[in-house]
Amino acid sequence: MTEFELKYGCNPNQKPAKIFMRGGGELPITILNGHPGYINFLDAFNSWQLVKELSSATGSCAAASFKHVSPTSAAVGRKLPDELKRACFVDDIDGLDDSLLACAYARARGTDRMSSFGDWIALSGVCDKVTAGIIKREVSDGIIAPGYTPEALELLKSKKHGVYNIVQIDPDYVPKTQETKQVFGVTFEQGRNNFEIGAELLKNIVTKNRELPDFAVRDLIISLITLKYTQSNSVCFASDGQAIGVGAGQQSRIHCTRLAGSKADNWHLRQSPMVLELPFIAELPRAARDNAIDVYLSEESDDVRGDGVWREFFTEQPRKLSYEEKRAYLSKIKGVSLGSDAFFPFGDNIIRASRSGVSFVAQPGGSVRDGEVIGECDSRNMVMAFTGMRLFHH
């Protein structure tokens, strides 16, 4: 297949639309089911690069959940603790611990469930039945992977009344070193970002504390590779083998950090007894439950727990969580890693990151206020590495 006709481009008025290979070469994909659209393919090709690179860098299988050309999360294959299984709504999945690929997707999908609603999925390895079983019950637009077991393919083909988008990619495909795009009729050309992210990138530690444990190296690598395929400006919080908060596409870096930090905070709070024990109505749809948790943890919690509405979600009225209770829980969190796709221009990013348990930081460096940023890290006993490499993505 040298080209594939699309229903339309980014919007229904943008016709005709297609994907194709210049020079008449074969597309590196096979469409096994459905009819993916323009944005689906943008998500598919970006997310595939992310999980392939993440798997290569860590030696583990990897999964990503994408929406509108940015990851909501990415994760490597690690078994989930019981609290995280419950928070990700996968504690009832048979055989979960036997499939590290399923664990990777459970983590990625469960990180920011509000943003992952209707996601595009990427898997670094062959999709198995357990992974497909998780995907089957989630609202998702499609999936890209290098292969599917017969049982997994059968399950996935039954999604969305038989039109779920399933794409198989050639894992050995390597694109040309130069890439082009057009904007307003003008063609842009650049070399592909083939920069490899690994432990060597974290050797230039600029803080007084120079102790960077192996788990932090892994999580910083996950953070930086996630950022490589996230719309800039962006920062990424990571912990326990997964991205836990992605602040994507903000013009101000502190807004990136605040956004990602709030997502990371919610990821931690969702594993707390305060949330795990919420008395949800048994038949409440998954999306409604996700939204209820999100609102319950916000300043607008009365929208789901107030006198006039709580019966729509709960069997009994939950109490209001105070700011002090949430901060007391979050203050115990340590060991979180933070990556940034460009330098931190002010120390406020470090101050905000510390409130979300960040102990390890990786960023390019190069700001005129590097000294201020380093000083904020030193005052909190953080470890920070300068990578010297910007990771903008547009």
Active site residues: 67-68, 233, 394
Angle (CA) 79 82 88, round 5° = 80
Q: Identify which of 257, 66, 262, 315 has the alpha carbon closest to the alpha carbon of residue 167.
A: 66
The answer to whether 61 and 100 have CB atoms below 8 angstroms apart is yes
Q: Cα separation of 250 and 362, whole Å? A: 19
Bridge-based pairing state of the strands 29-33 and 70-76: unpaired
Q: Which amino acid would we find at residue 339?
A: G
String of DSSP letters for 248-261: ES-SSHHHHHHHHH
String of DSSP letters for 50-104: HHHHHHHHHSS-EEEEEETTEEEEEEE--PPPHHHHHHTT-TT-TTGGG-HHHHH
Q: Given CA atoms 174, 179, 183, 185 in this order, what sign does their dihedral have? A: negative
Q: Identify which of 152, 177, 178 has the alpha carbon closest to the alpha carbon of residue 166.
A: 152
Bridge-based pairing state of the strands 62-67 and 29-33: unpaired
Q: For the chain, give me the number of helices (H) and strands (E)?
A: 14, 15
Neighbours of 322 (CB within 10 A): 9
